[in-house]
């Protein structure tokens, strides 16, 4: 088998809670405590778990929004955890992140054009504004938005549309790895389905690799190739999607699957 | 006679000088010991309906424009605020989505439960304390003798929701209204809380109105379901009838939007478009711009509620399933 | 609210704020048109009309040098605007930068904010007095000193707001796009601070008036010959029984202007991002 695009080994991210100081002891929260996984080119790996299990911290550490305490993450042969912020900056084009809250993740003071043009100019992917506008228009259409929306501001859009804009901001850079942190959980049921379909479609068409972080087992089954189940900072089980959902080995995975309210019970 | 009988409830919200309809012609009944589920997306009016029943809309921008809410034979909308207060918390109680913000962070949970009891029952503080202890045991809080002196922030989300349920049950209400009680909780905790609610219902014989956006939760917990879209009940039936014979295109769309966990689907049958905002007027059926079955009359005529089978009502010109 | 403040929204159905704005406009007009509006030269002595009662031609009366009080009051509006805007500018630029940088760069923040804390331990007037005694009496120095005094409170407020904004997801998103620190600070965070800073500015403007008047009164502010409301109070204070109007007029002008600016500030505050409402509790 070829070398994976991303290979994470024994990743640990600890936070110190409370400022240690006079008469106070510093305590450590082990948000991520030694997890290993890999993602191949064009593959979707889901990280599933309940709130507080550390799954979001994994994504935030891989994008250097948090600092890793230990471990390695080889991306295309380079350890991205050892890079300084400045060294990591050019790599941000390849490693992009979709955020959960479509209301908080778009700067209210920037127009959609300003927002989408920013990464293009940072990474020198366009020469001038007209070229940027062309690319923005094409990307907006790719995510199912009208190209004219680039002249408007975030507050003019609904949650689903905002999340599409968030996805456009990611896809406009043609990244190689997308980290999607609960990308649909803030949306209404009917909008969730649209956005899940869109993410799946874009992933297929572009062949981008993806780390899909979610607590929603349905969404995970819909979108991923492989699944890693996380519990209290560690992975309890990793496997092919069908294996995880149909023949779960770990007791926690089984408990998780058993807890999903079923529709079919009554239908039968 | 039904315990709770709502007829043609109309709610309007004040926007500037206008009054925009947010809930229109909502009617349903809840029998004793029965669970009714109200399912719909945000802004469909399901929570406002609950607040109207509880009389919690006073002071908000929402007005009750018409209809009746009969509880044990009395129309709550005609009661004086004083009479109403006596019914609330005693005969009916409500629990909310966010158990952290519904509990006062500066009081111990035991004190809060005790206050809830003493507001409606005359007993000594000692007796109220014992009753609070019983309630914590009833909602299966581990080690209640110690937990009764905890502050809300010392408990997990699931435990806080159990405390909320204990407070709601303080006076053995006949009706419990639960507004998204498990949405903020993890699935494993959600399962426990739902099981707890079902168990309590069997024990006390109370009725429950469960409001949720999650069809799965509704299907596991409820005897009857009302599906709401943009302020109207678009489909209403017993849970088994609804899930075996879904008729409204919106209900079908909701079901198609949920990714299954027990088999693989290539693409989800998502409902296109988005819910129109309040000030966007939609002529005809409110769902027609997003509906796969919309034809000419859907764009002009608002369909009334019609029975496709006994006790199965659909608000649609072209109900699915039954005809095919 | 995510859209910028709209002036119409701020003043609609707010009679007091509208009154405040009108008064400030009058002060503004007086300041700009002082040479045309003032009936006499504010510096010209006239020994024949010392301490004359209000009446024609000296509407506000004259002081003990025989200078026309109305003319001095009109020129005083110039000083009021100059001192207000000057100290607002210094306080916002210096305080804003210190606050933003301290919140964004944690280590630097530990150092800078401790200095701010030390300065804030002094009561505002005392700090101004200490600084003024080190400097010469001049308009520029007065502006600088008052600016520094309010830069400390501004730094604290901006520090808190930037900490909140820094945790916002859109800042993470900007970082993930590859934005540099300068871009995150000035392109993503700063525009979100503009409306609350505007509110802060209006309060500083008001308090700077009081502060300047107090310095003048204590003989440490503007040079005595400069016509300012504070100097008018200070110079004529011994005539309070013989010619009370010499104190009543400038005193009323100070109170009215401070009050007006506060009313405008309150109205502005009601329209900003609710998250920041409690950060700006005056200066």
- Find chain C residues with C-beta within 8 A of A90's C-beta: 178
Structure tokens at A30: 């082990």
CB contact, 8 Å: B241 with chain A? no
Task: Give percent of chain A above pLDDT 90.
Answer: 87
Q: What is the pLDDT of residue A89?
A: 94
Q: What is the pLDDT of residue B324?
A: 39
Helix (H, G, I), strand (E, B) or coil at A213: strand
The C-alpha atoms of residue A142 and residue B219 are separated, in whole angstroms, by 36
Q: Give the model confidence (pLDDT) of B172-211 as tens digits.
A: 899 999 999 998 889 998 999 999 999 999 999 999 999 9
Interface touch A263/B243, C-beta < 8 Å = yes
The C-alpha atoms of residue C185 and residue C191 are separated, in whole angstroms, by 9
CA–CA distances in Å: residue A105 to residues A42, A72, B210: 26, 28, 32
pLDDT above 70: residue B228: yes
The C-alpha atoms of residue C180 and residue C174 are separated, in whole angstroms, by 9
Helical H segments across B213-272, by residue range: 215-221, 239-244, 249-257
The C-alpha atoms of residue C201 and residue C282 are separated, in whole angstroms, by 10
Q: Give the model confidence (pLDDT) of A166-182 as tens digits.
A: 999 999 999 999 999 99
A127: CB partners within 8 A, 6+ apart: none
Q: What is the pLDDT of residue A23?
A: 58
Nearest neighbour of A104 by CB, restricted to C169, C174, C176: C169
C178-184's contacts with Cβ under 8 Å and 24+ in sequence apart are C178/A89, C178/A90, C178/A92, C178/A93, C178/A119, C178/A122, C178/A123, C179/A118, C179/A122, C180/A89, C180/A122, C181/C104, C183/A118, C183/A122, C184/C104
Cα angle for residues C14, C18, C20 (degrees, 5° grid): 120
Note whether A touches C: 3 CB pairs or more under 8 A: yes
Structure tokens at A160: 């689903």
- Find chain A residues with C-beta within 8 A of B240's C-beta: 266
A1-91+178-184+215-259 maps to which CATH number?
Answer: 3.40.50.300
pLDDT above 60: residue B217: yes
Strand order, beta sheet including A6-17: A27-39, A6-17, A70-75, A78-79
Any idea where the domains of chain B sit in the sequence?
4-91+173-314, 100-172
Any idea where the domains of chain A sit in the sequence?
1-91+178-184+215-259
- Find chain A residues with C-beta within 8 A of B267's C-beta: 197, 200
Interface touch C169/A169, C-beta < 8 Å = no
- Interface of chain A toward chain B, CB-CB under 8 angstroms: 50-51, 158, 160-161, 188-194, 196-197, 200, 215-219, 221-222, 241-242, 245, 255-267
The partner residues of A227 in beta bridges, in order of sequence, read A46, A239
Answer yes or no: are the C-beta atoms of A103 and A185 closer than 8 Å.
no
Structure tokens at B208: 């429950």
Q: String of b and e for B156-188 (b: at least 16 CB within 10 Å)?
A: ebbbbbbbbbbbbbbbebbbbbbbbbbebbbbe
- Find chain C residues with C-beta within 8 A of A123's C-beta: 178
Q: What is the pLDDT of residue B225?
A: 96
Architecture of the domain spanning B4-91+173-314:
3-Layer(aba) Sandwich (3.40)
Q: What is the pLDDT of residue C247?
A: 87
Answer yes or no: are the C-beta atoms of C269 and C5 closer than 8 Å.
no
Residue A121 Cα, gap to closest chain B Cα (Å): 32
Residue B323 — very low, low, confident or very high, per pLDDT cuts 50/70/90? very low
**Rounded mean pLDDT of chain B?**
90
Answer yes or no: are the C-beta atoms of B190 and B182 closer than 8 Å.
yes
Interface touch B274/A258, C-beta < 8 Å = no
Q: What is the pLDDT of residue C9?
A: 66
- Interface of chain C toward chain A, CB-CB under 8 angstroms: 2-3, 168-170, 172-180, 183, 187-188, 191-192
Residue A265 — very low, low, confident or very high, per pLDDT cuts 50/70/90? very low
Lowest mean pLDDT among A65-74, A117-126, B11-20: B11-20
Interface touch A118/C179, C-beta < 8 Å = yes
pLDDT above 80: residue A192: yes
Interface touch A267/B42, C-beta < 8 Å = no
CB contact, 8 Å: B279 with chain A? no
Answer yes or no: are the C-beta atoms of B30 and B83 closer than 8 Å.
no
Structure tokens at B174: 């006949």
Instruction: Per-residue pLDDT tens, chain C, 283 aa: give them.
Output: 334 456 666 676 678 888 999 999 999 999 998 888 888 888 888 877 777 788 778 888 888 888 888 999 999 999 999 999 999 999 999 999 999 999 999 999 999 999 999 999 988 889 999 999 899 889 999 999 999 999 999 999 999 999 999 999 999 999 999 999 999 999 999 999 998 998 999 999 999 999 999 999 888 888 888 889 988 888 888 888 888 888 889 899 999 999 999 888 888 887 777 777 777 655 5
Q: What is the ipTM of this complex?
A: 0.88
């Amino acid at each position: 088998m070829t070398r994976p695009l991303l290979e994470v080994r024994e990743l640990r991210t600890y936070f110190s809670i409370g400022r240690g100081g006079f008469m106070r002891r510093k305590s450590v929260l082990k948000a991520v405590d030694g997890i290993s996984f890999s993602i191949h080119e064009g593959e979707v790996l889901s990280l599933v778990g309940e709130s507080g299990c550390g799954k979001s911290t994994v994504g935030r550490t891989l994008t250097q929004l948090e600092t890793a305490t230990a471990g390695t993450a080889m991306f295309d042969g380079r350890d991205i955890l050892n890079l300084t912020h400045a060294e990591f900056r050019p790599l941000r084009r390849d490693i992009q992140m979709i955020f959960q809250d479509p209301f908080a993740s778009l700067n209210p003071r920037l127009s959609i054009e300003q927002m989408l043009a920013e990464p293009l100019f940072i990474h020198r992917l366009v020469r001038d504004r007209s070229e940027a506008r062309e690319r923005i228009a094409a990307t907006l259409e790719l995510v199912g938005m009208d190209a004219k929306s680039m002249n408007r501001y975030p507050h003019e859009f609904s949650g689903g549309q905002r999340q599409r804009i968030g996805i456009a901001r990611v896809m406009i850079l043609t990244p190689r790895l997308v980290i999607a942190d609960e990308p649909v959980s803030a949306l209404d049921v009917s909008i969730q389905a649209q956005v899940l379909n869109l993410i799946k479609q874009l992933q297929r068409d572009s062949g981008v690799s993806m780390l899909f972080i979610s607590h929603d087992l349905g969404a995970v089954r819909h979108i991923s190739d492989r699944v890693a189940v996380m519990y209290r900072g560690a992975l309890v089980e990793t496997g092919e999607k069908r294996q995880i959902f149909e023949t779960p080995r770990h007791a926690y995975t089984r408990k998780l699957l058993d807890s999903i309210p079923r529709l079919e019970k009554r239908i039968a | 006679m039904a315990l709770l009988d709502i007829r043609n409830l109309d709610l309007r919200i004040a926007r500037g000088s206008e009054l925009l309809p947010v809930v229109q012609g909502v009617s349903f009944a809840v029998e004793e010991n029965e669970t009714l589920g109200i399912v719909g997306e945000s802004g469909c009016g399901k929570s406002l309906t609950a607040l109207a029943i509880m009389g919690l809309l006073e002071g908000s921008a929402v007005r009750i424009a018409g209809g009746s809410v009969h509880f044990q034979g009395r129309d709550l909308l005609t009661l004086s605020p004083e009479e109403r207060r006596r019914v609330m918390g005693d005969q009916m109680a409500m629990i909310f989505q966010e158990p952290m913000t519904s509990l006062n962070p500066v009081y111990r949970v035991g004190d809060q439960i005790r206050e809830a009891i003493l507001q409606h029952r005359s007993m000594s503080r000692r007796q109220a304390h014992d009753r609070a202890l019983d309630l914590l045991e009833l909602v299966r809080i581990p080690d209640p003798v110690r937990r009764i002196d905890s502050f809300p922030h010392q408990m997990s989300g699931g435990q806080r929701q159990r405390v909320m349920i204990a407070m709601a049950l303080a006076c053995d209400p006949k009706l419990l209204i639960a507004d998204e009680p498990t949405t903020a909780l993890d699935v494993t905790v959600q399962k426990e809380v739902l099981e707890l609610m079902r168990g309590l219902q069997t024990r006390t014989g109370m009725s429950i109105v469960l409001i949720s956006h999650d069809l799965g939760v509704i299907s596991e917990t409820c005897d009857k379901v009302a599906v709401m879209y943009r302020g109207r009940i678009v489909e209403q039936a017993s849970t088994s009838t609804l899930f075996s014979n879904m008729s409204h295109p919106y209900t079908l769309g909701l079901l198609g939007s949920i990714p299954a966990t027990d088999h693989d689907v290539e693409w989800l049958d998502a409902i296109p478009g988005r819910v129109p905002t309040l000030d966007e007027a939609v002529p005809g059926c409110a769902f027609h711009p997003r509906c796969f079955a919309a034809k000419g009359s859907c764009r002009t005529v608002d369909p009334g509620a019609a029975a496709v089978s006994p006790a199965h009502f659909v608000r649609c010109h072209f109900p699915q399933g039954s005809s095919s | 609210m995510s859209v910028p403040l709209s002036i119409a929204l701020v003043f609609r159905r707010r009679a007091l704020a509208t009154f405040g704005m009108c008064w400030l406009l009058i002060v503004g007009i007086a300041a700009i048109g002082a040479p045309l509006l003032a009936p006499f030269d504010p510096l010209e002595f006239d020994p024949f009309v010392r301490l004359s009662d209000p009446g024609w031609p000296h509407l506000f009366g004259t002081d003990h040098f025989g200078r026309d009080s109305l003319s001095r009051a009109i020129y005083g509006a110039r000083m009021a605007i100059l001192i207000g805007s000057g100290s607002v500018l210094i306080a916002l630029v210096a305080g804003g930068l210190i606050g933003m940088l301290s919140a964004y760069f944690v280590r630097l923040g530990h150092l800078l904010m401790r200095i701010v804390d030390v300065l804030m331990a002094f009561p505002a007037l005392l700090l101004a007095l200490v600084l003024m005694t080190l400097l010469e009496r001049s308009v520029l120095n007065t502006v600088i000193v008052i600016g520094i005094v309010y830069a400390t409170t501004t730094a604290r407020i901006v520090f808190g707001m930037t900490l909140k904004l820094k945790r916002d997801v859109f800042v993470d998103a900007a970082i993930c796009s590859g934005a540099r620190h300068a871009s995150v600070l000035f392109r993503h965070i700063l525009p979100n601070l503009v409306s609350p800073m505007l509110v802060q500015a209006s309060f500083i403007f008001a308090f700077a008036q009081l502060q300047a008047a107090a310095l003048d009164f204590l003989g440490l502010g503007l040079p005595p010959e400069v016509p300012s409301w504070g100097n008018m109070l200070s110079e004529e204070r011994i005539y309070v029984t013989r010619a009370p109007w010499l104190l009543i007029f400038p005193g009323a002008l100070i109170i009215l202007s401070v009050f007006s600016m506060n009313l405008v500030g309150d109205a502005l505050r009601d329209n900003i991002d609710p998250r920041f409402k409690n950060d700006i509790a005056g200066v």
